Structure 1
Amino acid sequence: MRRLLTTLVILLAVLVAGMTTLVLLVNPNDFRAYMVKQVARKSGYQLNFDGDLRWHVWPQFSIIAGRMTLTVPGAPTPVVSAENMRLDVKLWPLLFHRLEIEEIMLKRAVISLTPESQPLDIPVAVVNSRSPTNGSSAWALDIRTVKLVDSLLIWQKINDDQINIRSLNLDLVQNKPRQLTVSISSQVNRNQRDLTFSLGADLDLRDYPQQINANVNQFTYRLEGADIPVIGISGEGNTQASYQAASRRLALNQLQVQVNNNLFTGNASATLDDIPDYLIKLTAKDINLDSIEGWQPPQDKRQTTAEYRVITAPVIANQDEDIRQGLQKLRDFNAHLTLNADTLVYRGIKINQLELAAENKRGNLVIQRLLGHALNGDFSILGTANVIGNRMQLAIEPVVNHMELAPILSAFGLPPLLSGAGSMKGELSGDGLNMEAFSRRWQGYVKFGMEKAQFHGINIQQLIQQAVTNSTSEVSGKDDYVTDTSIQKLRADLTLHQGILKVSNLSGDSALLALKGKAMIDLPMQQCDINLNVRVIQDWRGNSDLIRILQNTEIPLRIYGSWQQLKYKLDVESLLRDELRQKAKEAFDGWVERNIIEGNRPLVQP
């Protein structure tokens, strides 16, 4: 044991002595010109060091440099600059004055991918270290590991805003020739939003620069900030990626992306021309948009407006609506999207067998297909959206068959005054994609029908029968009533313009009553004015002659006021008086016609 320890001490002493001798005999500045020349020969970039290079022995044998820059010839600003750089080198080759670098680490580096870091008018000339073989590039990576620590990436296109990717940490390791493992993490701050992400991938550069293949085996992200739900948007994903340089085509196969526990699978591709073109095909089993948008149903039954739990961005004066929503970015690319989902939940409504096909042509969006089954019925929607101007202009053609209406009214913050299986077909257009915009700046028409409709909170039959009972003791209605009005079939034509919904050709029939009329609904003010003519057909007791008159008499009923406190106007007494007077007049005129005009002898002799 003592002999072994003695041997180890001797070896350590020799190693220390050798390293000390090497440090004294080899000046790291002798490699300065060599490294500058190699970088220029292989990449065409200019490498520059400020200050002298020096050795760093422990814990890794390294060369330490001060501030360094890497610049494209002719560019006013460097592509890469760093406060300091560390080069971990192999010890044995140094004895023969050869520099073999195991790892490069840049700390607090700034990577500038901006117009200022590109050459003004001088092309970058890249000289390969050896001639291409079999048509492939002679690119080679002589360095095993590259690390960026606490760095900054500045990315900017011409005439576009800068994107700052902060706290950038990168590990790039070459395991085999032209095969690398990449690990990257960073944080992006923009428009009062924070995006934190990390990525791990295996890169295959054997066909570089013609083709790059990557296996993205780990990707996580989290988005927080303005106009984002309080819980944030987060998830993970993986994919097989490849890039073809000749066609500038990026393909993502076996794509899996998770968004707040919603899993999307499929594939995507992009042609990265001046105007990028994207093709995305996704499928999902279960999608909950409420968990992504932060939508929650009202907790109070008296509350009709649902809650969006988001962090609201401050309002900027004279800011266009589409700019506030970031929709102007749609003008910069073309895209085609297809999405199929077994189930989708939107504002508490469960939709089955959802199919969506849409495309974007530089700000002109077309919904080619949007259909599904929901609320015991089905729907299909065609539509267009234009974001080229200052506002988002939309037009839709909805077709709805036998869907329950009450959950839809509740989902969009409207009072559940009406329920039943509704059907509709029409055309609507406007600007803005929220309830505020719809209630003020949309227009169009809809043909509406409903089966087994119910008006909640008001019983029209009860109102009329009680008013008649108060006016005459000859008839009365039923003793017990429910709080709703049931209509077996309801039909109407709807016209919307600047927040005013006009209802015409309104008609409804049931075993108890029949009605027709018109209405005007003020959506912004949440008020209505409904004028009906109602015939109560059944549940009368009393004078049979008067009951026949009532069954054939249309009684005017006006329902008006705020949605939360409706009022009604019903003048049965004057109507009955006029009706009875008219019936008496008709009877007298008939008697006169039969007994005097036709020459019959009068009942009373003069």
Structure 2
Amino acid sequence: MRRVITTLAILLVVVVAGMTALVLLVNPNDFRAYMVQQVEQRSGYHLELQGDLRWHVWPKMSILAGRMSLTAPGAAQPVVSAENMRLDVELWPLLSHQLSVSQVMLKNAVVRVTPDSAAKAPQNAPQGPRNAQTSTSSNGWSFNIGQLQIADSLLIWQQAGGDELNFRNFNLNLDQDDNKQATIALNTSVTRNQRSATVNLKGELDASQYPHRLSGKVDQLDYALAGANIPPQGIKGSLSFEGSWNGDNQQFSVANLQLTANDSALTGNAEGSLALPQRLALNLQATALNLDNLMANAPVNEAEGAQHATVARAPVIAEPRERNNADSPLNTLDLALKLQAKSAVWRGLALSDLQLDASNQQGLMTVSTLKGALGSGSFSLPGTVDIRQPETRVSLQPELQQVAIQPLLKALELPESLQGTVSLSGQLSGEDLTVEAAKRNWQGRAAISANDLTLAQINLQQMVRRAVARISNRVSSEDKDGQGIKQIAGQVVLNRGELDFSELTGSGPHLALQGKGQVNLQQQLLDITLGLKLSGWTGDDKLVTALSEQTIPLRMFGHWDNVQYSLPVDDVIRNRLQNEAKSRLNEWIDQQQDNDDKRNIKSLLRP
């Protein structure tokens, strides 16, 4: 045992002595010009090192540098600048005058991916072949980086003409082998316009053909979004995909995409180009798509006894910038989107077999197909959305077939006072693509029909029967509850918040009706008049005939939370009875012989 300990101690002394001698005999500043030369020769970038280089021997053999910067040819700002840089080097190559860098570590760095940091070729510079191979040094030296670590840094990202995004707490670990096959681990966060996002990524990268081509896959990308115009619970999920990038023509492709966002899950692929005009084609499939959990303005279902957390609002430092379509990325993007969802939720409506086929041409979006099933019915909503002007212009051609009315009214935040199914075909247009805007300033017209229509707490037939019973006991009718309107159809015109119904005709059990009216969506007022004809009366034959043929006006008016009714059945019957009495009296007079007496009596009966 003593010999083993002695041998280990001798080896330790030799290693320490060798490293000490190396530190004393090899000056790291001798590598400064070489590193600058090799970086510029291999990449064209200019490396600047400020201050002296010094050794650091524990836990790895390293060269420590002060402030450094790396600048692309012709760029106004450096791509990378850092206060501190550490180069972990291999020990044995140093003994043969070789510098092999196993890891580069930057701390508190600023990484710029902006137009000012991009390489710019000199004017009238000759263009070499794109597939030309870079020359390698033949002076006996080698330069190789296997690992890159960026810690506690800042990434500034900006596209030409776009807004600048600052990714803080930027941490990147990149390991690559001799074949330029790399593994990547990245986490960062970004805050902008009172919204924040965090990203944690793990993936693989093939950089063997860089800068012409890149390929790789994202094994897992976890993200979280929170803040203004984001649902109170935030948006959390994961993303994975395989992708490739063609640097020569600025094109990319994504395959085997898998995305989760709260309780939504999508798969698909994408391809596009970042060169102007930018292009993106998305083909997505969803097993579940809950839009209500992804939209900040989605209606909240109030559950009985539910407890709601109080959301603290951040102090307003300045007035938020007014929304302007000029800032939309769709103005410079050609988009093709195809989406299929087995099930989806929008404003509480349970949709199935949802299909979307839309395209965007620099701000003009055409929705060729937007259709699906809604309960036992179906819907189709093709149209266009134009954001080329400051105000968004919308034009839609809605078609509904046998859609349940009550859930639809709830989704549109209207009183749930009707039950049944509705079918509709029409044309709508207006400004802004929101439900509130549609109720406030949209315009259009449609042909509408409804089946099995019932009004909440209102039975039209029962109202008329009871009104007749209070006036006369000479007729009666079977009193059956739950009777409604079997079918009703008409025309509806929407004009900036006011619905105008006309040509309403309908029928039901022992019922026929005609009507018209208006509903003011902004002031929540209505004024609708229905002319009702009821059959199924029994009793006095003439009165039964009169009631069956007579139109009884029912008027509903006032605020829709406190609707008033007018049903003048007594006036109708009284007029009918008076006309009947006059008719009988005239018949009796006609049977008399004295013409003078008849004329005198008739003159007395005239009003």
Same fold at TM > 0.5: yes
Write the distance in 1 (CA, Å) between the matches of 2:123 and 2:184.
29
Q: Which residue of 2 aligns with 1:487?
A: 485
Q: Which residue of 2 aligns with 1:437?
A: 437
Write the distance in 1 (CA, Å) between the matches of 2:449 and 2:211.
62
Q: Which residue of 2 aligns with 1:59?
A: 59
Task: Confirm or deny: 8 A CA contact 1:293 1:308 kept in the other structure.
Answer: no
Residues 171 and 126 (structure 1), Cα distance of their counterparts in 2 relative to 1, 3 Å cut = farther
User: Where do residues 134-533 of structure 1 align in structure 2 (5 Å cutoff)?
Assistant: 142-293=144-295, 295=298, 297-299=300-302, 320-321=322-323, 328-476=328-476, 478=478, 482=481, 486-533=484-531
Write the distance in 2 (CA, Å) between the matches of 1:485 and 1:562.
25
Task: Confirm or deny: 8 A CA contact 2:42 2:134 kept in the other structure.
Answer: no
Q: Which residue of 2 aligns with 1:557?
A: 554
Shift of 1:121: 6.9
Q: Which residue of 1 aligns with 2:605?
A: none
Task: Confirm or deny: 8 A CA contact 1:45 1:73 kept in the other structure.
Answer: yes
What root-mean-square deviation, in Å, do the aligned CA atoms of Structure 1 and Structure 2 show? Answer: 3.3
Bigger drift between 274-283 and 581-590 goes to 581-590
> Which residue type is aligned with residue 270 of structure 1?
G
Write the distance in 1 (CA, Å) between the matches of 2:593 and 2:322.
81
Bigger drift between 574-583 and 364-373 goes to 574-583
Write the distance in 1 (CA, Å) between the matches of 2:143 and 2:465.
93
Q: Which residue of 1 aligns with 2:81?
A: 81
Bigger drift between 84-93 and 346-355 goes to 346-355
Asked whether 1:94 is paired with 2:88, we answer no
> Which residue type is aligned with residue 111 of structure 1?
V
SS of 2:563's equivalent? strand
SS of 1:465's equivalent? helix
Q: Which runs of 5+ in 2 are unaligned?
A: 137-141, 601-607
> Which residue type is aligned with residue 527 of structure 1?
L
Shift of 1:551: 1.6
Write the distance in 2 (CA, Å) between the matches of 1:417 and 1:494.
18
Task: Confirm or deny: 8 A CA contact 1:322 1:392 kept in the other structure.
Answer: no
Say which of 543, 566, 571 aligns to 1:569: 566
Residues 453 and 357 (structure 1), Cα distance of their counterparts in 2 relative to 1, 3 Å cut = same
Shift of 1:460: 1.9
| 1:401-458 deviation digits (Å, cap 9, x = unpaired) | 1121111111221111111121110001111222211111111001011121111121
Q: Which runs of 5+ in 1 are unaligned?
A: 302-306
> Which residue type is aligned with residue 388 of structure 1?
R
Asked whether 1:32 is paired with 2:51, we answer no
SS of 1:17's equivalent? helix
Task: Confirm or deny: 8 A CA contact 2:70 2:78 kept in the other structure.
Answer: yes
For this pair of structures, how many residues does the alignment match?
Answer: 591
Write the distance in 2 (CA, Å) between the matches of 1:18 and 1:24.
10
Shift of 1:241: 0.8
Q: Which residue of 2 aligns with 1:580?
A: 577
| 1:364-421 deviation digits (Å, cap 9, x = unpaired) | 1111111112221112221100111122111110111112111111122111111112
Residues 321 and 92 (structure 1), Cα distance of their counterparts in 2 relative to 1, 3 Å cut = closer
Percent identity between the aligned chains?
Answer: 38
Task: Confirm or deny: 8 A CA contact 1:165 1:187 kept in the other structure.
Answer: yes
Shift of 1:464: 2.2
SS of 1:30's equivalent? helix
Write the distance in 1 (CA, Å) between the matches of 2:206 and 2:506.
70
Q: Which residue of 2 aligns with 1:304?
A: none
> Which residue type is aligned with residue 98 of structure 2?
R
Task: Confirm or deny: 8 A CA contact 1:227 1:311 kept in the other structure.
Answer: no
Residues 74 and 217 (structure 1), Cα distance of their counterparts in 2 relative to 1, 3 Å cut = same
Residues 113 and 150 (structure 1), Cα distance of their counterparts in 2 relative to 1, 3 Å cut = same
> Which residue type is aligned with residue 244 of structure 1?
N
Please report the TM-score for the alignment, with normalisation by the length of structure 1. 0.89
SS of 1:10's equivalent? helix
